[in-house]
Structure 1
Amino acid sequence: MAGTGGRQGPLVADKRYKAAAKPAAPKKAAKRRKAPRAPHKRGPIMGLLHLIWRAIWGMTWRAGAFVAMIVGLATFYFYAGLPDVSALLDGRYRGSVTMLDRNNQVFAWRGETFGGQITADNVSPHLKNAVIATEDRRFYRHFGVSPRGIASAIKINLSEGRGPLEGNGGSTITQQVAKLLCLGVEYDPAIWKTEAAYEDDCRSGGIKRKIKEIPYALAMEVKYSKEEILTIYLNRAYLGAGARGFEAAAQRYFGISAANVNPQQAAMLAGLLKAPSRYAPTTNLTRSQERAGMVLALMHEQGYLDDGEWQAARANPATLSEAAQARAGGYFADWVMDTTPDFLSKDTTEDVIIHTTLDQRIQSAAEEALKSVFETKVKEGSEAEAAIVVMSADGAVRAMVGGRATKVSGAFNRATQAKRQTGSTFKPFVYAAGLDMGMTPDTTVLDGPLTVNVRGSGHWSPQNYTKEFLGPIPLWMALAHSINTSTVRVGLEVSFDQVRKVASDFGFASDLAPGPAVVLGVSESTLLEMTGAFAGILNGGSSVEPFGMNELRIKGDAEPLFGAGGGMGERVISERAARELMWMMHQGIEQGTGRRARIEGRQIAGKTGTTQAARDAWFIGFTADYVTGVWMGYDDNRPLSGVTGGGLPADIWREVMVRVEDGLPARPLPMADPSEWRNSGGQVWSSGDPIPEGGVPVINGELVRRSTQPDRNETLGQAIENLLRSLY
C-alpha cells in the first residue's frame, strides 16, 4: 500500500473494540402488559344464577332506597305534627276524684289520678335507672328503634311457640311512648265506642302497628331529647289502681313523691310496667315484691346498684303506706261516688277533691271487729255476710263496711244496697209515736193473746218469740224484751198511719207495709237508713239524712262548689219523747235482749232485730258518741242457723264499739231520768194493777191501760223488782 510521499507508513492493526463510552442511565423497566384474559366460560346454570342475583340486587337496593324515602317522608310528616313536650304529659281523657278523710288525709281515689308533672331530671335516680334497666337498657344508644331488641323478641316468641310478634315485642321506650300517644291519633267517639276500646286499639300489636311505630319513634327522636322522651313515659305510663304516671303511683302506693323513692320502691314501680293490674301491690303485695326483686337483679346486673345496695334492697322489700295497706273506705268511697253528681264524679273532666266524713281509725276498728268475730265465733266456711255503719248523731258517716271482703272497690255494698226486712229494730219507732202522743215508759200495755181483723186478709194473731205472755207490763219492758203483742197494741192505740209517718219522717225511704204487721218490721230498709233513723233518736228527735261528703271542690280552687249533702232535718218527735225512748232502749241493753252488747263503764241504748225464719239479724245501738248499725244474713236470703239479733250482731257491735270508744272519755247518754215522769203526777204503772178481764182482746177492746194512782215514793228499782216478782 503506497503512502504519502512514496513512503509506506507503518502497518497498524484495526482496533477490535471501540473506545469505552460513559455508561448510560438505566432505563425504566417497561410495564408488563397483562395478557388479555380469556373470556370465562360459564355454564348455562351459573349464568342464569348470575343474572338472577344481579336482578335481585338491583331490585333490593332500589326497594331499600324507596322504603328509606317512604320512612323519611313519614318521619317528617309525624315530626311536623308533634307538639311541645309539656302538652303530652297528662294523657288522661277524664279527671280524677281524690277523697280526704275528716282529718284531711287522702284515703281513696277514683278515676285515673295524675299526680302532677315530673321530669326525668327531678325523679329519684333509682326510679330512672329501674325503668331503663327493665324496659330498655340501650335507651341512650339507639335512635328510637332497636333491631337487636326486635330480633331477640322474635327469637323468644318463636321459642315459646308464639307468633314472631306475639308476646315480647322488643319495643324501645321510645316505641312504647309512641303507643301511649296512640301515634298522634286523638280519641273520636264516632270511631271508638268507649275510651277503653280506643286505648286497646292504641296498644294493639301486629306488623301494621310496628310499621307505623318506626317512623313515629324516629320523629320523636329527632324532635325531642332522650330526657324529654323519658319524661313523657314517666308521666303517661299506667301503673295500676287508677294511677297514671309514676308520681301518682308513688303517692298511691307509698304516700311519697316519685322524687323520694328508694331502690326497692323504684323497683316495685318499674315492675308494674309489665302488667299493671296483675302486679299492683294493692292487688297482691307478695307478687309485686317478687316482681320488684327481678327488677333489682337487673339493676345490679347493669351496674346501677353495687353489691351492698342490692343486698340491702332485697332484704327490705317495699311495702305499702298505711293508707294504701288499709285501702280504707272502699265501700264508703263507692257510696260517696254514687251520691255525687256524675259530672263531678264518674264523668268529671276536672280533678275533683272531696272532703269526707270518714274516720280511718273508726273504719279500721269496724273492719277488725268484723274479722275477729267471724274468725272466732262463726263456723269455718260459713257464707253468711255482714255489714256495719258507724255515724255521728247528725248523720255524718264515720265508717262503712259493706261485706266481709273489706279490701274491695266496686263490690256489692250490703250497707247501702241491700234492702232487708228490719224485724224488731223497727219497734222503737212504734214506741216513739206512742211517747210523742203522751205515753210514758211506765204506761201499762197488755202482753197477751191478740187477734186483729185485717181488712181483706182476715184474722191475724201475732205471736211472741218465746210463745209466752207476761200480762200487763210497762212500755219500757215491752220494748226491752221485744214483745210483739204489746207492740201491736201500742200501734193500734196511736194508729198505724201515725207509726208510718213517724218512721218515714225519721228516714225510712222505702215503702212501709200496709196493715198492722208494719209495727213488727216486715218492711224492708237498708242498714244505712236504719242507722240514720236511730241517729235521730240520739240527737233528740230530729230526722237525719246520712251523708259522707263535707264539701267538694275543683283541684286548685279556693272555694268549694258545694258542701254537705245531708245532716239533721226537721223535728219528728219531741225532745222529751226522744229522751224517754232512749232510756227505754237503755233498759233493753241492761236487762233485755241486747245484754251481749254491754260495755263496762259505758251507757248504751240499742235494739235487736230478727226477722221471720232468722233470715236477717240486726243490732243497732249508740253511745253518747256514735250510732252503729250491724246487719247479718245470707245474700240469697236463706235462714241463718242459730243466729238472732241479740247474738252475733250484738257481739260484732260490741267489738266495734270497744275499739271505737277506746281512749274516749265515758259520757252519759242524754236520756230521761225516770223521776221526770214518775214525779210529774202523770200516769204511772204499778205492779198492783189488775190484769184486764177477758180471754182474747179484740180490736175494739181496751188494749192499752194506764194507772192513774202514782206511787211517788216507789223508786224505779223497786218498781222493776216488784214487777219481776209478780211475773215470775
Structure 2
Amino acid sequence: MSDSRRRKPPLVADKRYGGKPRAKPPTRGKKTARKGSGGGGGKRPGPPRKPARRKSPQKRRNPMVAFVLGLFGWSFGLIWRVTWRLGAVTVALVVLAAGISGLTMPPIDDLYDGRARGSVTILDDQGEVFAWRGDQFGGVVTADTVSPHLKNAIVATEDKRFYRHWGVSPRGIASAIRINLSEGRGPLSGHGGSTITQQTAKLLCFGQAYDPEEWDSEAAYEADCRESTLLRKGREAIYALGMEMRYSKDEILGLYMNRVYLGEGTRGFEAASQRYFGKSAANVTPAEAAMLAGLLVAPTRYAPTNDLARSQSRASTIVRLMEEQGYLSASAAQNAIDHPAQLSKRAQDQSGGYFADWIMSSTPDFLTSKTTADVILRTTLDQRIQTAAEDALKWVFDQKVRDGSEAQAAVVVMSADGAVRAMVGGRDVQASGVFNRATQALRQTGSSFKPFVYATALELGWHYNDIVEDTPLTINIPGSGPWSPENYDHQYRGPVTLEQALMKSLNIPAVRVADAAGLDNVRKIASDFGIESDLAAGPALALGASESTLIEMVGAYAGILNGGSSVTPYGLQEVRLQGDAEPLMGSEGGIGERVIREDAARELIYMMRQVVTRGTGGRAGLPDREIAGKTGTTQAARDAWFIGFSADYVAGVWMGYDDNTPLTGVTGAGLPAEIFHEVMARVHDGLPVHALPMLHPAPEPARTIADNGRGGSSGGGGGGLETAIERALKDIFGLN
C-alpha cells in the first residue's frame, strides 16, 4: 500500500531561508473527482476567479504644465537647499561672533558701576542727607543680596521668561512687532521685545566705554547706545548671546539692577531704594519692590517724588503681574495693593532746593558738576529753619497776596557768624535749578542801607541822641545839578535825634549824616561789612541807591549783631570723598575783621530795636523776644525789604517783581515785615529767650551834626565831622 497521499511536512529549508509557508491543505471533506476521470481523488476546485480588469490607457499630462511644475519643484528644492545651508552658516557665524564677544568681556566686577561722572551728596548741619546732585550709585547689589520681592518684580515686569531663554526671545520680538504694527508704528518703534539680557547689553553700550572726544555729552552717548535700527538690533542680539555664554543669569540680572537709571539721578536699585524709601534694596516690601520696578518703563514719569499717586497705580499693576506669575499669593498681593508704598520723610521734605543750588554754584566745579568721584558736602542748613521759612512765605502769599499776582519774594536766615541756615529763592519754595532771587538778584536796597550810614556816624563818635536837621536840603551834584531829597511822607520835622531819624526812616537826616561823616567813609564801612556790589558815588548812597543781593545784606546785618565784625556768608562746612574720614577742605566763611567798635555796634542795635518797637518795623516784632531791624522801600516801590535779627538769628526778606514792575500798596513796613514776623516766629518756636546785645549809653548833651558846608541849616551846636573824629580818637586811644 502506498503512503503517497500523506501530507508531507514542510521542508526545513523553507524555515531557514524565510520562504513563504505552504498553503494549508484543504479541509478534509467530500472528495471530488479528478478532472477528466470518472473517479474522485483530484484537486478541489478553487473559488471562481473574477475576470481581470482591463487597464485604461494612461492620460498624458500637458507638456507645458509638466514643465512648469517641474521647474517649480526644482526651484523650491534649490531654494530650500540654499536656505538651510545659508541658515546653518549664519547660525554658526552668530554663535562664533557671540562666543568671541563673550570671551572678550571683562570680569563681572568691573561692570557694575558704569557712571562717567560722580555724585554729590549734600548733608545738613546734623549730617542728614537733604539733596543729591549728579548720578547717585548706592553700592553694588546682586540677585542674592536684594529682596526676593524686588528680584521677582523685575523679572515679572521686564522678562518673565528670563531664566528660560538664551538672551534673545523670538516670541517676545514677534509679539512686540505685532503690537507696534497694530498701533500704527514702525516694527521697531515702541515696544522692543528686548529681554533683560538685551537691555543690559544696551546699558553696557555693547562694551563701548564713554569717550568725551567722540560724544558731546554723556546723554548723547546713552542716546546713541539706545538707538533702534536693524543693525543695532543684530549687534544687540550677538552681544546678549555672548553675555549668556560669559555670565550666569543671576550675574546678568545683577548688572541690570546696578546699571539701570531710576529717576532723581539714581543709578541702580540700591540708590533708588535709598532715595525714595530711605532703606536698602535688601529690605523693600512687595509694594516698595513693585514701585521700584515700575520706574523701569519711564523713570521720570513714574518717579514717586514727581507724582506719588501715579507711581502707586503703576506699582499695583506690577503687583498683579507678580500674582499671576506665582510670585505672590492672592492675600499678599491684595495687601500690597491696599497698602501702597510711601515716600520716606526725607524724600517728602524736598527742602533746600535753592540752598543746594547755591552750595553747588559756590563750591569748585571739580568737586561738584565736574566730579568723577562721589563727594560728600556737609553744610550749615538747618532743615527745621528751612521748613519754617518755606511755610511762612507760603502762608503770607496764600493769605495776603491777591490771586494772580506775579510778585516774588526771597528769604535768607543766618547765624551771627555768617552760617546760612535757610534759603528760599522764590515763591516756588521747593524749586531747584531756577533763578535764585536770594543770591542772584541785584536790587536797590532802599532804606535798608541806612544802618550803615549810622554805623559810620557812631564809629566816628556820635551817639543815638545827637541832633540832625530834618529840613529842606538841596545839594549841588557836579555833572548832575541840584538834588533835593525828600522824606517818604513829604514832611519835615526839624531837629531830630539820630535814633528818631533811623526809627522813622527819614531821608533828609540820613543824607545829612552821610554827608557829614563822609561818603567815602560810609562806602568803606558798608563794603567792609560785606556789601561787595558797586556802591553809588553820590549822596544818594545814603538812601540805598546802590544794588545788592539779599544774602549780602543779611550778611552785613549779621556783622552788626555779632558786635561789629565782618562776616562772609557761608553754607559749606566740609568736603570729603565718600569713604574717606579726612575732609578735603573746610569752611571758607565766618567772622572776619572788625569793622566798627563793639560799643558802636551795640548802640546801633539799640537804635534798630526802636525801629521795631516805635518806628516803621512794627509788624516785624515778636511778643516774646526782642527784635531789631530796618525796613527798606526803593523809588516807585519796585523793591521792598525787611532785614532784622533776634539775639540768635538774622533774617532778611526781599519782595518785588522780576521785571521791576512797581509793587502796589507794598512797602518794606508791610508784607516783607509780615513775612519776617512769620519766619522768625516759626524759627524761634520752642527756643529759649535771649536778650539783644544792646547798649543804651548814658545821655550826653545833644550835639548837632553839621552839613560840611553843602547847604541846609545846621541848627547850631557845633559838632561836625572834625569834632566827631576827635572824640573817636579819644575813645580808641584814650587821648584827653
State TM-score, norm by structure 2. Answer: 0.89
The answer to which of 332-341 and 189-198 deviates more is: 189-198
8 Å CA contact 1:449, 1:697 repeated in 2: no
The one of 272, 279, 286 equivalent to 2:302 is: 279
Displacement of 1:24: 2.4
1:75-109: CA deviation from partner (whole Å, max 9, x where unpaired): 02211221111111111111111111101111111
Within 5 Å, give how 1:535-684 maps onto structure 2.
535-672=558-695, 674=696, 676-678=697-699, 682-684=700-702
Q: Tell me the residue number matched to 2:47.
A: none
Q: Residue 435 of structure 1: SS of its match in structure 2? A: helix
Q: Tell me the residue number matched to 2:123.
A: 100
Aligned partners of 2:481, 2:77: CA distance in 1, in Å? Answer: 106
Q: Tell me the residue number matched to 1:4.
A: none
State the AA in 2 paired with 1:622. Answer: F
Q: Tell me the residue number matched to 1:479.
A: 502
Structure 1: runs of 5 or more not aligned: 1-14, 32-37, 709-728
Aligned partners of 2:558, 2:698: CA distance in 1, in Å? Answer: 24
Displacement of 1:683: 3.5
Matched, 1:156 2:172: no
8 Å CA contact 1:140, 1:226 repeated in 2: yes
State the AA in 2 paired with 1:570. Answer: E
Aligned partners of 1:293, 1:392: CA distance in 2, in Å? Answer: 47
1:645-671: CA deviation from partner (whole Å, max 9, x where unpaired): 111111111111111000101110011
Displacement of 1:677: 3.3
Aligned partners of 1:112, 1:246: CA distance in 2, in Å? Answer: 13
Within 5 Å, give how 1:126-525 maps onto structure 2.
126-525=149-548
Within 5 Å, give how 1:56-135 maps onto structure 2.
56-135=79-158
Q: Residue 698 of structure 2: SS of its match in structure 1? A: helix
CA root-mean-square deviation? 2.1
8 Å CA contact 1:464, 1:485 repeated in 2: yes
Displacement of 1:48: 2.1
8 Å CA contact 1:444, 1:705 repeated in 2: no
Aligned partners of 2:5, 2:175: CA distance in 1, in Å? Answer: 87
8 Å CA contact 2:145, 2:282 repeated in 1: yes
Q: Residue 413 of structure 1: SS of its match in structure 2? A: coil
The answer to which of 587-596 and 406-415 deviates more is: 406-415
Cα distance change, pair 191–444 in 1 and its aligned pair in 2 (3 A): same
Aligned partners of 1:574, 1:604: CA distance in 2, in Å? Answer: 21
Displacement of 1:697: 11
State the AA in 2 paired with 1:579. Answer: R
8 Å CA contact 1:445, 1:705 repeated in 2: no
State the AA in 1 paired with 2:646. Answer: T
Cα distance change, pair 55–590 in 1 and its aligned pair in 2 (3 A): same
Aligned partners of 2:515, 2:711: CA distance in 1, in Å? Answer: 10
* Aligned positions, number: 677
1:146-186: CA deviation from partner (whole Å, max 9, x where unpaired): 11111111111111110001011011111110011000011
Aligned partners of 1:631, 1:396: CA distance in 2, in Å? Answer: 19
Matched, 1:22 2:8: yes
State the AA in 2 paired with 1:684. Answer: A
Q: Residue 301 of structure 2: SS of its match in structure 1? A: helix
Displacement of 1:408: 2.3
State the AA in 2 paired with 1:451. Answer: T
8 Å CA contact 1:393, 1:627 repeated in 2: yes
The answer to which of 209-218 and 295-304 deviates more is: 295-304
Q: Tell me the residue number matched to 1:6.
A: none
Q: Tell me the residue number matched to 1:725.
A: none
Q: Tell me the residue number matched to 2:733.
A: none
State the AA in 1 paired with 2:603. Answer: E
Displacement of 1:219: 0.9
State the AA in 2 paired with 1:699. Answer: R
Aligned partners of 2:395, 2:634: CA distance in 1, in Å? Answer: 25
8 Å CA contact 1:440, 1:677 repeated in 2: no
8 Å CA contact 1:449, 1:461 repeated in 2: yes
Q: Tell me the residue number matched to 1:723.
A: none
Cα distance change, pair 54–637 in 1 and its aligned pair in 2 (3 A): same
Q: Residue 277 of structure 1: SS of its match in structure 2? A: coil
Displacement of 1:703: 3.8
1:364-397: CA deviation from partner (whole Å, max 9, x where unpaired): 1111111111111110111111111001000000
Aligned partners of 1:205, 1:704: CA distance in 2, in Å? Answer: 87
8 Å CA contact 2:515, 2:708 repeated in 1: no
Aligned partners of 1:186, 1:667: CA distance in 2, in Å? Answer: 60
Q: Residue 558 of structure 1: SS of its match in structure 2? A: coil
Matched, 1:699 2:710: yes
8 Å CA contact 1:610, 1:644 repeated in 2: yes
State TM-score, norm by structure 1. Answer: 0.90
The answer to which of 128-137 and 481-490 deviates more is: 128-137
Q: Tell me the residue number matched to 1:713.
A: none
Aligned partners of 1:339, 1:266: CA distance in 2, in Å? Answer: 38
